[in-house]
Amino acid sequence: MNKRIKKHLPCSLYDFKGLERWLDLYADILVESERRRT
């Protein structure tokens, strides 16, 4: 996993479902910021 992402994750999110949900959210944020940039 990306170290920069890992650094921002609280330990509680290392449980798989929480991590999966957080990554979905993170992906949405990245998509939004990409859209804004263009």
**What pLDDT score was predicted for residue 31?**
93
Specify the pTM: 0.46
C-alpha radius of gyration, the chain, whole number: 11
pLDDT digits (tens, 9 = 90+) for 12-23: 555 667 778 888
Measured CA to CA, the distance from residue 13 to residue 5 in angstroms comes to 12
